[in-house]
Amino acid sequence: MSEAGNTDEGLLTIDELASAASTSVRTARYYASLGLLPPPERRGRLAFYDERHLAALQLVRALQEHGFSLADIQEYLERVPEGASADDLVIQRVMLTPWANARTETVTRSELDKRAGRKLTKAEVTWLTKMRAVRETDEGFELQMTFPITSQLLDLDIPRDAVLAADDLIGRHMDALSDELTELFRAQVLAPFRAQEHTDAERDRFEYSLGKLRQLTLEALVASFQRASNQAIVRALESR
């Protein structure tokens, strides 16, 4: 029998909590039993949940999207301040939301060939591993999110050592840029927001704005790289 009939505005039954988080009641109960959600408010035999429970449940799901195990999630949540508000948890979730599907997939050796669209040599598999597009495990080959792009590079008539060097160069710059942008967002976007009181509508709007900002950041990075490349071509022509 589902728990229903909540009388206080803002309180949710387990059914409503699961529905709001786009998960099943069984999953929500399981997470609660592991202590991944704060204790509910008890009224007799019924349990009620609020916006902080919802934010915590959504945070758990975001961590799973990053490939965290339940044990890792529990350890992560233990480091969250006990008095963290729903706003704090929402912001953490938005910051953790993958920019693309971060889930990996493990395939067999023959399936790896099918995904690459060709019969891969041992040397090509080694190269894909160095490019961090594939990771060999005891169960098979774990495809990383860059695999669809990287596998296409195998068909180009370009020295693979040069591609490896370019990948290393891009990786180092992207890591530094990502760290700097993250710190900038925390200091100049998130901190000012958290320092003030907000309505539910304002918080929803802020969450939407952060998601949109992520999309526009990706587009801006591509446009900036194109502009920089064009300028490099002009400089090279002028030097000749």
Q: What DSSP line would sit under 4-18, residue for residue?
A: ----STT-B-HHHHH
Query: SS3 helix, strand, coil % of the chain, rounded to 5?
Result: 65, 10, 30
Domain ranges of the chain: 14-96, 104-157
Positive/negative CA dihedral, 30, 35, 38, 44 = positive
Give the pLDDT score at 96.
Answer: 66
**What pLDDT does 8 receive?**
58
Q: Which fold has domain 14-96?
A: Multidrug-efflux Transporter Regulator; Chain: A; Domain 2 (1.10.1660)
Q: What is the pLDDT of residue 223?
A: 93
- Looking at this protein, which amino acid is placed at residue 228? A
In angstroms, how far is CA 88 from the centroid of its own chain? 17
Q: What is the pLDDT along the chain (240 residues), one digit of tens a residue?
A: 344 444 456 789 999 999 988 899 999 999 999 989 988 998 888 899 998 899 889 888 888 877 788 888 888 888 777 777 777 777 677 666 656 555 678 999 999 999 999 999 999 999 999 999 999 999 999 998 889 999 999 999 999 999 999 999 998 998 898 888 878 887 888 778 877 887 878 877 887 888 788 788 888 988 998 998 899 888 888 876
3-state secondary structure of 22: coil
In degrees and rounded to multiples of 5, residue 135 shows phi and psi of: -130, 120
Q: What pTM was estimated for this model as a whole? A: 0.58
Question: For tokens 């008890």, what's the residue?
Answer: 42
